């Protein structure tokens, strides 16, 4: 009998959720600023359909299965090209999770995932269904990764061969998960493997370091412009000087123009959030006042890091594709040069011809004789008949023949 392999947080195997009793809560919303987006609340353990009743009996929750996700995908409007997933799950069955991961990515839609509570074990695979620039988590959300295991209470006789089979299958499953982590996070396998061994919860800073998310979303109250607060506090603490008094009087009389209010531009991140930068126009720069604090991936692929109300770093997008295209172009050029390359003797001959006068000289020395076409038959002349001189004996014989002829004529 095949026993399913689980990736489920042992610390929180059953968490009550104040949501509808249905397996998945769906909604489709449209506002003036956003186009329609299918929203998936992934807030239960991952189980197989046949195990839902047992899971409900043990935990009070039926869980989420692959068939639920199939139903969700079928429900989406074909014209809707976005799927937004909120994750609050402690994982579950590995085979069911990979089926969900593949089904979501096979839709070809733009997937965004966000950890709103806990994302543990197999649920981290669902998190990685979205590309890095569209993976985020809330400030107090937590993530946990660990090695897969068989559930307690395996029945049947345990022989050494069977135990080895179990160990081999767990090792294969662990390697498969590590391969996926490395591919989707782009991080070093050793670091990810070490975190799986520790098997402990980690928050935003570690999640950013390991590549599970690209943004930690601060609370909305943190979006207050800190530079304005600092400037207001400074005005209250500083004593007015004579110059400041004259400037204030000049502004009141209309002689001196007051400084204009700082102009802010709002940039939309890849996850749909807003980054506010105090700049009238032009490209944002390191040192610009911005809010809120955090790491943001813009729609053009640049990564902006804001700390203490200032932009501290701007990372350009990965130019791997452009470098690959340039590499392919150079390879093609080299191959073309190789095909048209001349031997050393060819180069010497061409150099000699060029030195002598080039093509013009070549025409003067070249022969214009064209040989006539050859005939395929040979004309053989027959020798003319010529009288050969007769010998003395032949003359005597001829005379005797002539006499004999005359004698017989007379008789």
d(C-alpha 60, C-alpha 44), whole Å: 11
Torsion of CA 199, 205, 207, 208, to 10 degrees: -150
pLDDT in tens, the chain (411 residues): 345 655 555 444 333 332 223 333 343 333 333 345 789 999 999 999 888 888 777 777 778 999 999 999 998 988 899 999 999 999 989 999 999 999 999 999 999 999 999 999 999 999 999 999 999 999 999 999 999 988 765 666 778 888 888 888 899 999 999 999 999 999 999 999 999 999 999 999 999 999 999 999 988 754 444 444 454 444 444 455 655 665 666 666 666 555 555 567 888 887 778 888 887 677 888 888 888 888 888 878 788 898 888 888 888 876 566 666 667 777 777 777 766 666 677 777 777 767 777 777 666 655 555 555 544 455 555 555 555 566 777 777 788 778 777 776 655
Q: With left for phi above 0 and alpha for psi between -120 and 50, is residue 153 left, alpha or beta? A: left
Residue 227: CB partners within 8 Å, gap ≥ 6? 278, 289, 309
pTM > 0.75: no
What's the CATH architecture for 6-217?
Alpha-Beta Complex (3.90)
Taking alpha carbons only, the member of 126, 136, 111 closest to residue 37 is: 111
- CA distances 315 to 25, 259, 271, 285, Å, are 37, 32, 17, 11
With tokens 């791997």, the residue in question is 320
Structure tokens at 105: 């990515």
Domain extents in the chain: 6-217, 220-315
CA gyration radius, the chain: 47
d(C-alpha 400, C-alpha 377), whole Å: 49
Q: Phi then psi for 243, rounded to 5 degrees?
A: -65, -40
| Contact (Cβ atoms closer than 8 angstroms) between residue 134 and residue 110 | yes
- CA distances 334 to 164, 322, 340, 342, Å, are 54, 19, 10, 14
């Amino acid at each position: 009998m095949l026993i399913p392999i689980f990736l489920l947080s042992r610390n929180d195997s059953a968490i009550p959720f104040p949501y509808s009793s249905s397996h998945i809560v769906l909604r489709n919303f449209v506002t003036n600023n956003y186009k329609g987006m299918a929203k998936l609340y992934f807030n239960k353990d991952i189980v197989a359909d046949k195990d839902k009743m047992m899971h409900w009996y043990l935990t009070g929750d039926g869980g989420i299965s692959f068939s639920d996700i199939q139903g969700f995908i079928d429900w989406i409007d074909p014209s809707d090209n976005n799927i937004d997933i909120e994750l609050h799950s402690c994982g579950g069955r590995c085979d069911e999770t990979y089926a969900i991961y593949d089904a979501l990515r096979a839709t070809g839609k733009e997937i965004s995932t966000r950890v709103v509570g806990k994302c543990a074990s197999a649920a981290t695979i669902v998190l990685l269904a979205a590309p890095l620039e569209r993976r985020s988590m809330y400030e107090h959300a937590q993530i946990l990764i660990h090695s897969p295991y068989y559930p307690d209470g395996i029945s049947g006789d345990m022989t050494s061969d069977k135990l080895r089979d179990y160990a081999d299958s767990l090792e294969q499953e662990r390697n498969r998960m590590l391969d996926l982590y490395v591919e989707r996070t782009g991080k070093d396998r050793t670091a990810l493997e070490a975190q799986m061994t520790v098997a402990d919860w980690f928050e935003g800073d570690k999640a950013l370091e390991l590549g599970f998310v690209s943004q930690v979303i601060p609370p909305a109250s943190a979006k207050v412009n800190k530079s304005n607060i600092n400037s207001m506090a400074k005005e209250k603490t500083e004593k007015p000087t004579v110059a400041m008094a004259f400037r204030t009087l000049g502004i009141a009389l209309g002689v001196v123009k007051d400084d204009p209010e700082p102009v802010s531009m709002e940039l939309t991140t890849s996850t749909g959030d807003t980054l506010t930068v105090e700049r009238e126009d032009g490209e944002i720069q390191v040192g610009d006042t911005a809010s809120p604090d955090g790491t943001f991936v813009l729609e053009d692929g640049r990564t902006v890091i804001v700390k203490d109300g200032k932009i501290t770093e701007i990372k350009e997008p990965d130019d791997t594709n452009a470098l690959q295209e340039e590499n392919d172009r150079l390879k093609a050029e080299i191959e073309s040069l190789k095909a048209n390359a001349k031997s050393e003797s060819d180069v010497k001959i061409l150099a000699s011809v060029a030195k002598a006068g080039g093509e013009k000289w070549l025409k003067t020395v070249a022969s214009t004789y064209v040989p006539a076409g050859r005939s395929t038959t040979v004309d053989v002349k027959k020798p003319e008949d010529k009288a050969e001189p007769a010998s003395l004996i032949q003359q005597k014989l001829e005379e005797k023949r002539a006499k004999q002829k005359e004698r017989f004529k007379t008789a």
